[in-house]
Structure 1
Amino acid sequence: MPRPNILLISVDQWRGDAFSGAGHPVVMTPYLDQWAATGTRFSRAYSATPTCIPARAALLLGQSQERHGRVGYRDGVPWDYPTTLAGELTAGGYRTQAVGKMHVYPERNPMGFQDVALHDGFLHFARRNHRDLTEVDDYLAWLREETGDPTADYADHGIDCNSVVARPWPREERLHPTNWVVSRSIEFLREHTAGRGEGGGDGGGGEGGEGAEEQPFFLMASFHRPHPPYDPPAWAFEQYVHQPMPEPPVGDWAEEMWGAHASTAADAPVARYDARTLQRARAGYYGHMSHIDQQINRLLEELTSLGLREDTVVCLVADHGELMGDHHLFRKSLPYEGSARIPFLLSTPEQLGGRRGQVRGDAVVELRDVMPTLLECAGLPVPDSVDGRSVLPLHRGEPVPDGWRPWLHGEHTHIGGDVHYLTDGREKYVWRSGDGAEQLFDLAADPTELHDLARAATPANQERVALWRGRTAEALDGRPEGFVKDGALVAGVPVGALIPSVADTC
């Protein structure tokens, strides 16, 4: 059986609930909804470490944060990992290409890909190496060539990559970073297909070094959006800016847990914005999604026109979500659903036996599961370094496999300590290591986490809290930070963005 091609679509900061086909009250994603109907949407997918850098480690390495060592956001730490998703596929005979955001260090680290067309989108780190100021961004060089302006920059409009300020993209839509990711991806597909037709190339090794006529590809199309800056094309921004939107959910615990903040700073993680600012931010965010929806359709249509669609595994995930005002919180890193829950969609060629139009919410899946899934699709062994599990059995409609994780442990460094969470998809427990504050949510009955059951002193609630507290101590026992002593959680432990025992090898 010929090995399938693989297309991995990565979107940045896309909430797990933000599909019109999943019942979202505002955003319109008709093409993604249509594509999701050809495969499986995993409705209980999470990012264990919900910011860009540690989440991408899970995606590219197939590892838990305990293994890859990144438990928070820290730039400038080398990615010296010997085994990667792209590296395994390259060694297995795949032609491998990444387009768009990598967010690794050094910036041009290929992470096993044979070629990378880079656009990280994060201001100073994205434009140039921050140590020697050499240009590293391929999109920026292309933008300057296309516009004929040697000083052109994607930040010329003045809004930055972590604020709620929103405005339409000021240039032609074809020059938008979202379009560039798809255009470069299409260039790769056309060139690869033409090479197959000519019978050239050496196949890149693996399985006897077959010729390029039979060589499959692995393409990662990695979008920087819907992450800020909120600068979608005008049509996408305008279709939401005057649309009525429900108020963000605010839990009865919000002020007690994170303080009665009244910040109006443009990049505040905890804020109370006026209605107009919030409306424009949401219009920019959802506008990015509608724009990406159409551009992904453009990419999938190209797969079809090149005769590749039926032979290609397509997987879409996000590194994390966006709180967008839930509980007066913005951006990511926290364990609440808007931040930690992510999209995870998978469609496969017929020979892999996947179901169509399936929604699986009976198992918690995570970014670390992408690598073993795609390697199994390719017929390649899963390295011992991988902690994740292939979701192919779930995609085929089989029962949850024996030994599947009963719950997921996630964490992220935060002000005053680490914030940990455990979830089985039905309940979620949160523990803040700095002061020992804890929360419990019934996700089945309260999906927007309005009511903290840990605040209710009923025997049943306190029994559930104690159960999850014990599971958290079990998950953290033996960690070098000293979160657990004599089997109990210990508050007040100082932490960093790397686990100390593995920081030197990250």
Structure 2
Amino acid sequence: MSAPAPNVLFISVDQWPGYLMGCAGHPVIETPTLDRLAEVGTRYTRCYSEVPICIPARRSMMTGSSARVHGDRDFQPALAMPDMPTLAQCFRDGGYQAFATGKLHVYPPRDRIGFDDVMLAEEGRGQLGGPDDYEIFLADAGRAGKQFLHGMSNNEYSWRPWHLPEDTHVTNWTTTTAARMIKRRDPTRPAFWHVSYTHPHPPLAPLASYIERYRNRTIDDPIMAEWARDPASLPFVLRAVQSYWPHLPPEQLADMRRAFYALCTHIDHQIRILIGTLREEKVLNDTILCFVSDHGDMLGDDGLYAKRLMYEGSANVPFILVDRKNGGRVPAGAANDRLVGLQDIMPTLLDLAGLPVPETCDGLSAIGTEKRDIFYGECLSSERASRMVHDGRYKLIWYPAGNRFQLFDLQEDPREEINLSGSPEASERLAALKRALLDRLYGSDEAWVKDGELVGVDEPEDKVADNRQLSGQRGLHYPPIPPEDPSIAVGSW
């Protein structure tokens, strides 16, 4: 007699770098829950967000496909999900009940993308449609529209403690709502639960108690490679990022990191409530656990902030996988360095659950025998584009604007401080990775190739960003904010 189908708890976070966990060796961050999951499961150290931007990254997770297939490498808020099987629909087709809590970042926002039901928290995007379930909760609690009265922007790096009662924080709401969904499951069928936390993505407004626990800690200093010290010598894309986010002096930058770490530790502790709920409901041993982020954040490294870059801080993400008890397919305490991406999440979870993987997936199961030799990453299609190929040790980053290259040996230089692209000793490796990159370009990128060579495009003139919207600053959300053109990307640099 075969074992009953396992449940699946798929937890995602927003903007959490892969190195920012105790189990990854970080000297400051407290992540006891994730550390324990890594002890009983496998941590994938070379997991990347193929397109390190919120919407494209989530399309990869939910379709099991790369941007070449799902159609977004830019951030298109009005782009509907492609007509292809989704992760949730595949589980439902396999007899599962499927529920989601938190952020989906799809259009229209109430599109359930295959889930039976979704309790939505969309970071204040009421202008795209709704209703948003978290905002309904705040209204019921007598706090209608007040979630952003802390004054912190959703895309900047000021911080302050959360301004409302602790139980109204979106991290707490997401956990409580997800735990209720677990308790309200149909006991006659297996369940797929997707719990999507909106933090540590700004706004940086953590609970005061979590700020306090980091107050006296010595915070790790940001990376500042020699190649990053002269802004005028940087590729256009990096100059644009450095000019968009203001430079934070050391003390303010350390405090900003404290606030970011506080948001992470808060989530880590809340995950314990989900695990405790599974345990008390007697289903923990029959549940597969998966933890991943959509992308990372540079957090001031090399004078850079946020995502949209191919450096480790932005593109490398945490991915921890735990099999059901005695499942036997995911080794305990392992650190697996195979090249994986967010497009691999869907085929991996379907594989673990014993469900078929649709042909539309071009991702690979992270527990399967087939592995990739090269991981390809891409971001944006304008003059701010960057492309990346990674062979497991060496990473090549290409900036088409100015036809600029950076080559890093991540085995010897994990902090990406030494650009080897001009080194004679690395010339063969550089040439091989350029060929690998050429083989993977498509669409409008082909205009940046001439006679089989990468030629890029001329760098545009530097411009000072006219950031009058303060990068997506939110205001009072009651009465509800008016609708607007959904194709306008709020908060983009």
Q: Same fold (TM over 0.5)?
A: yes
1:407 lines up with 2:369 in the alignment: no
Offset from partner CA, 1:73-107 (integer Å, 9 cap, x none): 22112224331010111111100000000001111
- Are residues 472 and 155 of structure 1, via their aligned partners in 2, closer, same or farther at CA, if it must alter by over 3 Å? same
Once the two structures are TM-superposed, the CA of residue 161 in structure 1 deviates from its matched residue by 0.6
Offset from partner CA, 1:298-325 (integer Å, 9 cap, x none): 1111111111110001001100000001
Mean Cα displacement is larger for which, 269-278 or 310-319? 269-278
1:226 aligned residue (180, 200, 211)? 200
SS state at 1:392 partner? coil
Check the 8 A contact 1:406/1:424 in 2, yes or no: yes
- Are residues 332 and 321 of structure 1, via their aligned partners in 2, closer, same or farther at CA, if it must alter by over 3 Å? same
Once the two structures are TM-superposed, the CA of residue 173 in structure 1 deviates from its matched residue by 1.5
2:88 aligned residue (86, 89, 98)? 86
Check the 8 A contact 1:269/1:331 in 2, yes or no: no
1:455 lines up with 2:450 in the alignment: no
Offset from partner CA, 1:329-375 (integer Å, 9 cap, x none): 000010000000000000011234321111111x1010011101111
Offset from partner CA, 1:436-463 (integer Å, 9 cap, x none): 100100100000101101133x2x2222
5+ long unaligned stretches in structure 1:
197-212, 394-400, 496-502
1:140 aligned residue (135, 138, 141)? 135
User: Hey, what's the Cα distance between the residues in 2 that align with 1:263 and 1:477?
Assistant: 25
Which AA in structure 1 matches 2:114?
Answer: G
Partner of 1:120: 122
SS state at 2:152 partner? coil
Offset from partner CA, 1:239-280 (integer Å, 9 cap, x none): 224421232111222232247999999xx6554211232122
- Are residues 24 and 223 of structure 1, via their aligned partners in 2, closer, same or farther at CA, if it must alter by over 3 Å? same
Check the 8 A contact 1:165/1:280 in 2, yes or no: no
User: Hey, what's the Cα distance between the residues in 2 that align with 1:53 and 1:261?
Assistant: 22
Offset from partner CA, 1:363-404 (integer Å, 9 cap, x none): 1010011101111122111111000111124xxxxxxx34x2
Check the 8 A contact 2:235/2:399 in 1, yes or no: no
User: Hey, what's the Cα distance between the residues in 2 that align with 1:43 and 1:231?
Assistant: 29
Once the two structures are TM-superposed, the CA of residue 480 in structure 1 deviates from its matched residue by 6.2
Partner of 2:101: 99
Identity percentage over the alignment? 36
TM-score by length of 1: 0.86
- Are residues 473 and 375 of structure 1, via their aligned partners in 2, closer, same or farther at CA, if it must alter by over 3 Å? same
1:5 lines up with 2:7 in the alignment: yes
User: Hey, what's the Cα distance between the residues in 1 that align with 2:219 and 2:110?
Assistant: 41
User: Hey, what's the Cα distance between the residues in 2 that align with 1:263 and 1:420?
Assistant: 16
User: Hey, what's the Cα distance between the residues in 1 that align with 2:419 and 2:180?
Assistant: 50
1:470 lines up with 2:445 in the alignment: no
- Are residues 481 and 119 of structure 1, via their aligned partners in 2, closer, same or farther at CA, if it must alter by over 3 Å? farther
Once the two structures are TM-superposed, the CA of residue 494 in structure 1 deviates from its matched residue by 11
Partner of 1:29: 31
SS state at 2:164 partner? coil
SS state at 2:11 partner? strand
* Aligned residue runs from structure 1 range 113-192, under 5 A: 113-121=115-123, 123=124, 126=125, 128-130=126-128, 134-146=129-141, 148-149=142-143, 151-192=144-185
Check the 8 A contact 1:240/1:287 in 2, yes or no: yes
SS state at 2:184 partner? helix
Once the two structures are TM-superposed, the CA of residue 175 in structure 1 deviates from its matched residue by 1.1
SS state at 1:102 partner? coil
User: Hey, what's the Cα distance between the residues in 2 that align with 1:478 and 1:233?
Assistant: 45
1:216 lines up with 2:190 in the alignment: yes
1:355 aligned residue (305, 325, 331)? 331
Offset from partner CA, 1:218-246 (integer Å, 9 cap, x none): 00000000100111111111222442123
Which AA in structure 1 matches 2:122?
Answer: D
SS state at 1:453 partner? coil
SS state at 1:445 partner? coil
User: Hey, what's the Cα distance between the residues in 1 that align with 2:397 and 2:26?
Assistant: 25
User: Hey, what's the Cα distance between the residues in 2 that align with 1:415 and 1:83?
Assistant: 29
SS state at 2:55 partner? helix
Once the two structures are TM-superposed, the CA of residue 157 in structure 1 deviates from its matched residue by 1.1
Partner of 1:205: none
5+ long unaligned stretches in structure 2:
461-486, 488-493
Check the 8 A contact 1:476/1:484 in 2, yes or no: no
Once the two structures are TM-superposed, the CA of residue 72 in structure 1 deviates from its matched residue by 1.4
Offset from partner CA, 1:410-448 (integer Å, 9 cap, x none): 011176242001112311001111211001001000001
Tell me how large the CA RMSD over aligned residues is: 2.3
Check the 8 A contact 1:101/1:120 in 2, yes or no: yes
* Aligned residue runs from structure 1 range 329-368, under 5 A: 329-349=304-324, 350-361=326-337, 363-368=338-343
2:285 aligned residue (310, 313, 317)? 310
